[in-house]
Amino acid sequence: MDIYDQKKLRELARDFYNLVGLKVCIYDANEDELAFYPEKLSPFCALLREDKEMDRRCLECDRKAFAECKKTYKQHFYTCHAGLLEYMSPVVFDGKIIGYMVLGQIKAEKNKDFEKISPRLPEDKRDALQKCYNELSSIGLGKLKSAMRILDACTGYEYLKGLLAKSENKIDLRIADYVNVNLDAPLSVPLMCSEFHLSHSEIYSIFKRYFNSTPAEYIKVRRLSKACELLKNTNMQINKIGSECGFPDYNYFSKIFKREYGISPRDYRKNFK
- Give the per-residue pLDDT at 182: 94
Contact call for residues 118 and 128 (beta carbons, < 8 A): no
Asked if residue 19 has pLDDT above 70, the reply is yes
- The band of 53, judged by pLDDT with boundaries at 50, 70 and 90, is very high
Three-state SS for 74?
coil
| More confident of the two residues 207 and 109 | 207
User: DSSP label at 165?
Assistant: P
- Cβ-in-10-Å burial (0-12, 13-18, 19+) of 18 comes to exposed
Q: What is the mean pLDDT of residues 136-147?
A: 75
> E-strand spans in the chain?
24-28, 33-37, 76-79, 84-93, 96-108, 138-139
Amino acid at 179: V
Query: Domain map of the chain by residue range?
Result: 3-163, 171-272
Is residue 225 scored above 60 in pLDDT?
yes
Q: What span, in angstroms and rounded, lies between the C-alpha atoms of 37 and 42?
A: 10
What is the C-alpha separation between 259 and 269, in angstroms, rounded?
Answer: 16
Q: What is the pLDDT of residues 73-105, one digit of tens each?
A: 988 888 899 988 888 888 887 788 888 888 888
Strands (E), 109-255: 138-139
Q: How far apart are the first and last CA of the chain?
A: 43
Q: Give tens-digit pLDDT for 101-139.
A: 888 888 877 767 888 888 989 999 999 999 999 888 777
Q: Which fold has domain 171-272?
A: Arc Repressor Mutant, subunit A (1.10.10)
pLDDT, greater one: 176 or 145 = 176
Q: How far apart are CA 143 and CA 60, in angstroms?
A: 27
pLDDT at position 159 over 90: no
Angle of the 215-233 helix axis to the 250-261 helix axis, nearest 10: 100
Distance of CA 168 to the CA centre of its chain: 19
Beta bridge partners of 25: 36, 102
Q: Which long-range contacts (CB under 8 A, 24 or more apart) does 63-66 make?
A: 63/209, 63/212, 64/212, 65/102, 66/31, 66/100, 66/210
Average confidence (pLDDT) over 24-45: 87
Give the whole-angstrom CA distance, residue 164 versus residue 1.
8
Question: Would you say domain 3-163 falls under CATH 3.30.450.20?
Answer: yes
3-state class (DSSP) for residue 51: coil
Q: What are phi and psi of 73, to 5 degrees?
A: 60, 25
Neighbours of 194 (CB within 10 A): 10
Q: Which residues contact 100 (CB under 8 A, 6 or more apart)?
A: 26, 27, 31, 66, 69, 88, 89, 90, 91
Within this chain, domains 3-163 and 171-272 share the same CATH topology: no
Amino acid 165: pLDDT: 47
Mean pLDDT of the chain: 86
CA separation for the pair 139, 61 (Å, rounded): 21
Q: Is there a contact between 160 and 98 (Cβ–Cβ < 8 Å)?
A: no
